[in-house]
Amino acid sequence: MSEDRILGPHLDRAGRDRSLLVLRPTENRRSAPSIRATAFVFEDPASQALHQELEQIAPSDASVVIIGETGTGKELVARFIHDQSARAQGPFIAVNCGALVESLVEAELFGYEKGAFTGATQTQIGWFEAANGGTLFLDEIGDLPLNLQVKLLRVLQEREVVRLGSRKSIPVNVRLVAATNVDLNGAVAAGTFREDLFFRLNVASVRLLALRDRPGDIMPLATHFRSVYAQSLERKALAFSPAAEHALLSYAWPGNIRELENVVHYAMLMARGAAIEPQDLRFTAIRAPDRAPTNLEEELRPLLEKYLNAATADVYDRVLGLLIRTAYDSAGANQVRAAESLGVTRNTLRTHLAHLGVIAPRRAP
């Protein structure tokens, strides 16, 4: 095993500590991955738990769906799955479904024969044939048109493709890894994604946390990018000052790892002092505030179920009281603002506050 490809979150085979994971590009790829794709940094506890899950999934031949926001490293995880599988010596082909021209998607994926359409001057294999014996990574699979979803399902079931303009089926041996930044369950419910294809793909699924939700990875990633760009720019790898480190850790990172790479790259270009300072860090024009939960029910349900299962009789009163008090405190004890945040009238809020003893009850006329 090459020293450039470190697999474990703790020790490598020589027994040295390797809590910082760096995945280097392998020679069998058609094109070198971006600098960001060399940073497989899993130091945060949540990331290390995901790494262990990936190590269990990777050796199998099961289809995998990777879910995560843009910039969280979905292709990097797909490459890791490929490299840790029996297909590691085969091709890894990455295709962004969202970037394909709709009229040419079928030809791109399944290939075409000479004369199949205007401009088809020669026979061309598709991405499935190109990935034969390896892994095909379909990024943003939720953007795939419905008519192509049917054909993709057939390929996965029959393990063969038919080129556009041909009637001959060609066997293919491909492991499919798909990625999406949208809720495929919601897309199925909305009728924009086929349910049968979803179940066919979703043999195993992994969810990548946003960078703001795994803060333990921020500085190791920043350090990695700093070293990479120091080498490419042929300059000293400057340290981050305590103030710069604080700025990096306190930022919300709406663009995730991709944004972090850009920020560090810019800092390495602009820093002129002995260390990288906050003024060398160029964040997005408007810093993203702490965002509200994207799915309130999804986040609260596990907590509520925990207390309900404990058979606590006063769950309703405690949850309602906490909600009211939190809204009131967050609004600076302003009843109007607190009522607006809850979507109730001020009178309703006052009734709850009085019941909780926060304010005095109204006197009867």
CATH number at residue 178: 3.40.50.300
177 by Cβ neighbours in 10 Å (0-12 / 13-18 / 19+) ranks as: buried
CB 3 within 8 A of CB 9: no
pTM comes to 0.67
- H-type alpha helices, the chain: 45-57, 74-83, 105-110, 127-130, 146-158, 184-190, 195-201, 218-232, 242-250, 256-270, 296-309, 315-330, 335-342, 346-356
In a domain, 37, yes or no: no
Give me the domain span that covers residue 72. Answer: 58-207
The confidence score (pLDDT) of residue 362 equals: 63
In a domain, 41, yes or no: no
The confidence score (pLDDT) of residue 347 equals: 77
The confidence score (pLDDT) of residue 295 equals: 66
Domain limit, last residue, from 155, 179, 207: 207
Dihedral pair phi/psi, residue 66, rounded to 5°: -105, 125
The confidence score (pLDDT) of residue 268 equals: 94
User: Is 192 in the same domain as 220?
Assistant: no
User: Is 216 in the same domain as 201?
Assistant: no
Which DSSP letter does residue 11 get?
Answer: B
User: Is 199 in the same domain as 217?
Assistant: no
In a domain, 148, yes or no: yes
User: Is 244 in the same domain as 118?
Assistant: no
Q: Domain count of the chain?
A: 3
User: Is 253 in the same domain as 128?
Assistant: no
User: Is 203 in the same domain as 215?
Assistant: no
The confidence score (pLDDT) of residue 28 equals: 36
- Cα(295)–Cα(67) distance, integer angstroms: 15
The confidence score (pLDDT) of residue 216 equals: 93
Domain limit, last residue, from 162, 186, 207: 207
User: Is 199 in the same domain as 112?
Assistant: yes
Distances in whole angstroms, Cα of residue 232 to Cα of each of 176, 228, 229, 265: 34, 6, 5, 10
In a domain, 18, yes or no: no
CB atoms within 10 A of CB 202: 16
The confidence score (pLDDT) of residue 187 equals: 85
Identify the segments of the chain with pLDDT beneath 70: 1-39, 285-295, 298, 311-313, 332, 362-365
In a domain, 65, yes or no: yes
Domain limit, last residue, from 184, 207, 230: 207
173-211 pLDDT, tens digit each: 999 999 998 888 888 888 889 999 999 999 999 999 999
